[in-house]
Amino acid sequence: MAAKHWRAGLLALLLLAGDKAMTEPRTPLVIAHRGASGYLPEHTLAAKALAHGMGADFIEQDVVLTRDGVPIVLHDIYLDATTDVASRFPARARNDGRFYAIDFDLSEIRQLQALERLEPDGSPVFPGRFPPGPTGLAVPTLAEEIALISGLNASRSREAGLYIELKAPRFHRREGQDIAVRILEVLAASGYAERSDAVFLQCFDDATLRYLREDLKTPLPLIQLIADNSWGEDSEVDYAHLQTDQGLAEIARYADGIGPWLMQIYQGPGPDGEPRFTDLVARAHARQLAVHPYTFRRDQLPPGIASFERLLELFIEELGVDGLFTDFPDLAREHIDRIDKTR
Ligand code: G3P
Ligand code: CA
């Protein structure tokens, strides 16, 4: 294990280790979703630095490739919802009107400004967060972000791990690129290659996770993300099946955990007003799979949940999830540290 990664790596290993770890109270991981994205434009280095300062255990990177094959940290395969690409390169949209990251070299990506996420009509997706308009912030490469986090791990003597999502691997393959290989290359060059290093790899595509484990032989912890079939996230994956006992048993052969949508666990209030849950967490734990649901947002609470604090209480104290993706890592950190003192 690289010494600089020991704390978060140890945390991850404890959560992935054996029957005992799955049945006893655990301290869940705070995973900063796209950084501290409740406060700063997502996937900017500023948002990642803030997440580090707020005490996140892991910091998420969604990754896509540029035309010249460089992994960059960006949620969409498109640039238009979170950058000023439309004004910088107005002639570069495809016929569908979208600006694809894979049509741009890194030298061009570097000319863009990262913005708070906007709807197609130009309104903010999350009103009340960082204001729309110029930011002076950039779209980072994966290597640059790892350098930032490693630097903060050293200067703050507090370790945060990486939590990397391979975005749209089938799309990348159709474009002639292998996103899994490119990401592993960057990780290896940055000293992340052993199972005990503080990094998770996550993907919505089960075939890509199998490829990582069985063909590319990565020992790194893998998380199977679970979407809803209606979203069209990956038309070749049956996410309803993945939530069945058989599906979970299949996942357990190549992955270490699942990343379900929180509404696949929480079913809203019952007639008596009390929250109702599926048994997905218990069934995953029975197969030694860690459970890291997404996405916990103070400004987007599920139906029937009165406060963010109540949402955290349900998933952490009542359901016993092993980690959670949140746009507000400070609030999750405070909640977990408070309940830890009483355990
Ligand atoms: O990767 C976990 C969570 O981030 C999945 O949703 O769409 O925000 O990448 P998304
Ligand atoms: Ca993600």
Structural domains counted in the chain: 1
Which of 43, 52, 75, 285 is flagged as catalytic? 75
Has residue 21 got a pLDDT over 60?
no
Please give the share of the chain, as a percent, with pLDDT higher than 90. 90
202 lines ligand 1 (CB under 6 A): yes
Whether the pLDDT of residue 1 is over 60: the answer is: no
What's residue 20's pLDDT?
42
Instruction: Write down the pLDDT at residue 22.
Output: 55
The CA distance from 324 to 28, in Å, is: 7
The predicted model gives 77-87 an average pLDDT of: 98
Q: Of all atoms in ligand 1, which is nearest to the CA of residue 295? A: 3
36 in any annotated domain:
yes
Classify residue 145: in a domain, yes or no. yes
Q: Domain residues for 244?
A: 26-77+140-342
16-25, 132-141, 168-177: the lowest-pLDDT one: 16-25
In-domain check, residue 214: yes
Residue 99 in domain: no
Calculate helix-pair angle for 45-53, 142-155, nearest 10 degrees: 30
Query: Does a structural domain hold residue 124?
Result: no
CA 263–ligand 2 middle distance (angstroms): 16
User: 75 CA distance to ligand 2 centroid (A)?
Assistant: 7
Most informative mutation of 34, 43, 62 for ligand 1 (most atoms within 8 A of CB):
62
Active site residue 75: yes
Residue 202 alpha carbon, nearest atom of ligand 1 = 1
pLDDT at 86: 97
Q: Is the pLDDT of residue 265 over 90?
A: yes
Average pLDDT over residues 188-205: 96
Residue 152 lies in a domain: yes
pLDDT in the model for residue 12: 63
- Asked if residue 95 belongs to a domain, the reply is no
Give yes or no: 292 in active site.
no
62 CB under 6 A from ligand 1? yes
CA distance 190 to 126: 34
Please identify, by atom number, the ligand 1 atom nearest to the C-alpha of residue 259. Answer: 2
pLDDT tens track for 84-100? 999 999 999 999 999 99
Task: Quickly count: other Cβ atoms within 10 Å of residue 314's Cβ.
Answer: 18
**Residue 285 CA to ligand 2 centre (angstroms):** 22
State the pLDDT at residue 234. 80
CATH number at residue 215: 3.20.20.190
In a domain, 328, yes or no: yes
